[in-house]
Amino acid sequence: EGAVLAAWRFEELKAPAEPGKEKPRVQALELIVPGGTRGQLNREVRDGLAAARGANLARTLQSRPGNVATPTHLAEQAREMAEAAGLEIEIFDRAALEELGMHALLSVSRGSVEEPRLIVMRHNGGRAADPPLILVGKGLTFDAGGISIKPAAGMEDMKYDMSGGAAVIGAMQAIAEAKVRANVIGIVPSSENLPSGSATKPGDVIGSYGGKSIEVINTDAEGRLILADALAYAVEQEPAAIVDCATLTGAVVIALGHQAAAVLGSDDRLVSELEKAGARSGERVWRLPLYPEYRKQLDSDVADLKNVGGRPAGTITAAMFLKEFVGDVPWAHLDIAGTAYGDGALPYQRKGALGVPTRLLFEWVRTRAA
């Protein structure tokens, strides 16, 4: 797993190296192990390769710039992966989203000429009657903040705002490759968030697939809007559990830096499973609370709730917003804004896209299915 992760490079946008100046590539890896362990080793190698290849797919998708990795491109890449891996896939375009009533996702996309997409991938590895595990990933392919525009400095990194979606696509590939015996659904809402004359404005009140009205205080808090519709759709699939992941808040970087993602959730068992999966995969998480008192920060005078809760506890109030759309289903949220991309401090990482939390998601599903 570590070797495959370390061998990954993103060079597809560079001119080919001159003859004789190509960087060396690892062609083979030989493992020497004690006798009598080959069966177990083969299983572990299979799963390790699946996890690493899934993470590398996520890293490649993350690394492509916004003029390449549009929502349409992300959907096409997911379809290509799904067809190769034997997954079922359904992709909803703007017309289909309008028919469904996914008003929150559509509202985020209004400022862009690029159409939004909802990507739904299915791995049918369990019994037909088994409720699915659902992975939801934010696929914001470029986030300028909308009318609440971001500062120019560092905005180029906002191509990474689809890291949660990339991780879910990578995890679904890994799950299929490892032939995990569980029913798993991967859902990726995808959009751009740009300012224009047609963009959603601060103060607008929008609808949502879950039926709740939302006062948009800040258009740069858009990830929770597209996730709200995806989560409400996920609930309709009658899952055993839902885990979402997103580069959702800058506040999580203030709280945890770049060493761990935040995990918040409605179900103690599920959160504990994710903590253990994070420790085993090396993609660590740290739990933050969801005390009911935080919900008050989302109260709106004109709608069912507003999309930001002010400066205090920003990561928590963002998760409280998502919690409004999952009903009673066991649910957990991973805020990966500090861990999805960075300088690559570990030997198997490189600067830029890190693929987090692809391997955590795969490990959680694999363990849950065992």
Nearest-angstrom CA–CA distance, 314 and 319:
9
Instruction: Taking each helix axis as running N to C, give the angle between helix 358-369 and helix 163-177, from 0 to 180 degrees, rounded to the nearest 10.
Output: 40
Burial 344-357 (b: 16+ CB within 10 A, else e): eeeebbbeebbbbb
Nearest-angstrom CA–CA distance, 308 and 251:
12
Choose, from 79, 150, 284, 287, the residue flagged as catalytic: 150
β pairing state of 205-206 and 285-287: unpaired
Choose, from 224, 306, 359, 366, the residue flagged as catalytic: 224
Please indicate whether residue 159 is annotated as part of the active site: no
For residue 63, what are the CA distances in angstroms to 74, 149, 197, 291, 306? 12, 22, 29, 36, 32
Nearest-angstrom CA–CA distance, 258 and 74:
26
- In the three-class reduction of DSSP (H, G, I as helix; E, B as strand; rest coil), residue 215 is classed as strand
Nearest-angstrom CA–CA distance, 264 and 74:
27
Please indicate whether residue 150 is annotated as part of the active site: yes
Phi, psi values for residue 270, rounded to 5°: -65, -45
Choose among 295, 288, 291: nearest CA to 261: 288
Phi, psi values for residue 240, rounded to 5°: -75, -30
Please calculate the CA angle 262-274-58 and round it to the nearest 5 degrees: 75
Catalytic residues: 150, 224
